[in-house]
Structure 1
Amino acid sequence: MISEPDLVKYLPDCQFGVNSATRLRFDFRNSGSGERVRAPWYRPLCRQDFLRPRTAAMEYPLGRHNFLRSNNLEEMQDVLGRIMCPHRLSYLDKPEPLDAVINSFDLGNLVLNYVQYGVPIAVDPGATGDFYALQIPLYGNALVRSGGKTIISTPEIMAVTDPEAPLYMELERSTKLLLVRADWDFANRVLRDLTGGLLPWKLRFDLGLDVSAGRQCQWFTEVVNLVRRADVGGGMLKGPMWVPQLEESMVARLIQLHAHRYSELLATPAMPASQRVFGQVVDKIEAMPEQLHTEGSLASEFDVSSRSLRSAFQRYLETSLFGKLWHVRLHRAHLDLLWATPEETTVPAVAERWGLWEPLFTQRYGENYGETPEQTLRR
């Protein structure tokens, strides 16, 4: 799992830190009047220029990944049903044209969505079956019922639904949602990796998660930061090399900070994996850095918990698995540049091959090798 210091170190163009009293705001344009409406958006995220739409496509979060803009209820129901699951939409007041938007970015086990309806609406999917819906209004409120409980979800309260329980929601006209589809089997696999054993019960969270302060706000910061990155492209989302680690980190953090029946078990500190196992993991990373390693995949392979493996990296190397993997991939990029000529390859091609992104690639390369990647390639 990527820790907070690692995010600061490896994602230097982001401001990391939490002030629960401070909020940034995101601009939304009223499609009827053209007037700009201000909506809450959380603070400790990326650069200010990420916050404002630069083109018409960027009017809303995930604007580069627009699936639908429509005023038709049946069309909205059909398209969102294919992204999430089949469901029924119904008006809470008299029927009227929607001001609907769906933007969606699929990582694999996580699907990031921005959704608005523009009218008071009821959403009735029943049991979602194979995924958790992690839902929070960026603006407005939503009534959410799941697992026999009801909450009012606000910009400070995220709903984390039960996949096997009927789900029902009512949204205000002004409600604009950030909605994450998190695969249920994937989340349970991450939990098994964290505990290092089989689980007698499926993972079910409490319905409401307060993300206004503390570790919960830090985690939600990373979620919204991921949405911003999907909008601007590049970084960890450019190519497949880091996406499995990123998804696992997001879900592992949620499991460790939100209440469920395994919370007490996970609150117990994990002993570091043995030096023998740790050495085997490091050998695997150094021998095959091109593989899509994660804490969970390596912990499972070497029969330890991912928490024990994380503790071992902190004790024996004073870094994380993420940091070690980055360093090894940087070294492989250095070797590729040493052995190639400018006629055979380019610096961007080598960086992309190893999942290394700018400006961090050139910065770390200079710190380690005393020259730029271009200088190495031309030698």
Structure 2
Amino acid sequence: MQKSPIANYNLIRSTDIEETRERVGKLLWPHRMRLRSSEKWVNTRLDGVFIGDIALIYIHYGTPVTIDPGQISDYYLIQTTLSGNSRVSNGRREMDTGVGLTTVVSPSEATRIFMDQRCSHMILRVRRDALERCLMEQLDRSFTAPPVFELALSHDTPVGAAWFQTLQFLSRQYNAGGECLRAPIVQRQFAELAIGQLLNTHRHSYSDRLLRGARVALPWHVRRARDYIEDHLGEIITLAQLSREVGVSARTLQSGFQRFLEQTPSDYIRDRRLARAHNALRCAAPGSVSVTEVLVALGINNPGRFANYYRRRYGCLPSETLAHD
């Protein structure tokens, strides 16, 4: 077993299977855990540091296990194998991993992870809404489907080597720095470093558009319409009203959105409401708000249809996001 790079932040030590399943599930994500039929024990160690929109997690079970979380709707998992071997499947893709390889698990695909008895993983868990927000800011536009990353990231490549060095840097900082690194501004900058590096170096489904988007500025009428939408999401916004507010014809506005944002104004409005609703439901304190209240505040007058769009986007219903522990 490779020594934990963040050993000063131990959260779980356990030899009990049920305790391991329950506590790891609460800290990271709900999942099913299966052992080989002959095994009756685990030797679990989990260390973790929570840094704003990201978390550094070291995990070792000490016995062969299969972890089956299904579709992890709220997080991207960037898993680096420190010792032993594992097999990671994400959707239809599968990869055998060992030392020198990182896998990037995307939330829109069902996931399964097998770890042998020597296997230890260093995981960077990234909040999906934070990554998508960063991507949207860089693209200067919305998008309809979550980014899907290439599964494998080899440390023999420049991109993979740079990522591993960043992981080591963050681990060393927190293992040595202690309380002085808990300031929100420090956590925000570290999270932005990791998310920005991942988006701009490891290939994903929006990489080509990200390169094009860096060179194409939005025309003034599209930018003004987008800003108006952002400020009035809780109101009814029609195409006719939006074109009057911007000062161009409906046809010009439609054409601008299709050309530069690759979607209609209506689709853009729906996507922004989806993102705003998801963030509000995920961040709500227990018992502080209902799904209906969130949807009404966003001007959503057909909750059933919106729930279908929400499930397609996030893999669960709005009520399930609100109830998430």
- Range into which the TM-score falls when normalised by the shorter chain: 0.5 to 0.7
Deviations along 1:79-124, whole A, 9 cap, x unmatched?
A: 1101111111111251232111010111121111000000011111
**Percent identity between the aligned chains?**
25
Q: Which amino acid in structure 2 is aligned with residue 202 of structure 1?
A: P
Per the TM alignment, residue 234 of structure 1 is displaced from its structure 2 partner at its CA by 5.1
Number of the residue aligned with 1:186: 130
The aligned amino acid for 1:87 is H
Q: Distance in 1 between matches of 2:182 and 2:47?
A: 19
1:37-78 per-residue CA deviation (whole Å, 9 max, x = no partner) reads xx4xxxxxxxxxxxxxxxxxxx63211111111111111111
Which residue among 165, 168, 187 is the counterpart of 1:221? 165
**Change in 2 beyond 3 A, CA 1:95/1:234:** closer
Unpaired stretches in structure 2, ≥5 consecutive residues: 218-325
Q: Secondary structure at the match of 1:64?
A: helix
Q: SS of the counterpart of 1:160? A: strand
Q: Provide closer, same or farther for how the CA distance between residues 269 and 220 of structure 1 changes in structure 2, counting only shifts above 3 A.
A: farther
Displacement of 1:205 in angstroms is 0.9
Contact 1:131–1:163 (Cα < 8 Å) also in 2: yes
Q: Select the residue among 196, 203, 217 that pairs with 1:252.
A: 196
**Match in the other structure for 2:23:** 79
- Per-residue CA distance 1:112-159 (angstroms, 9 max, x = gap): 100000001111111111101111210011111111111012222211
Residues 154-193 of structure 1: pairs in structure 2 closer than 5 A = 154-193=98-137
Counterparts of 1:152 and 1:237, CA distance in 2: 35
C-alpha separation between the residues in 1 aligned to 2:31 and 2:117? 19
* Distance of 1:61 and 1:108 partners within structure 2: 19
Q: Does 1:237 align with 2:181?
A: yes
2:150 alignment counterpart: 206
Q: Distance in 2 between matches of 1:272 and 1:246?
A: 28
Amino acid at match of 1:180: L
Determine which of 190, 206, 210 is the counterpart of 1:266: 210
Counterpart of 1:144 in structure 2 is 88
1:126 lines up with 2:70 in the alignment? yes
Q: SS at 2:203's partner residue?
A: coil
Stretch deviating more after TM superposition (79-88 or 89-98): 89-98
- The answer to which structure has the higher helix fraction is 2
- Find 2:38's aligned residue among 94, 101, 107: 94
1:267 deviates by 3.1
Letter in 2 for 1:242: V
CA–CA distance in structure 1, aligned partners of residues 134 and 161 of structure 2: 21
Deviation at 1:244, TM superposition (A): 1.1
- What is the rounded CA distance, in whole Å, between the counterparts of 1:259 and 1:171 in structure 2? 25
Gaps spanning 5+ residues in structure 1: where? 1-27, 29-38, 40-58, 274-379
Note the C-alpha offset of 1:248.
1.2
Deviations 1:309-343 (A, max 9, x none): xxxxxxxxxxxxxxxxxxxxxxxxxxxxxxxxxxx
Q: How far off is 1:271 after superposition?
A: 5.4
CA RMSD across the alignment: 2.1
Deviation at residue 259 of structure 1 after TM alignment: 1.6
CA contact (8 A) 2:139 2:214 kept: no
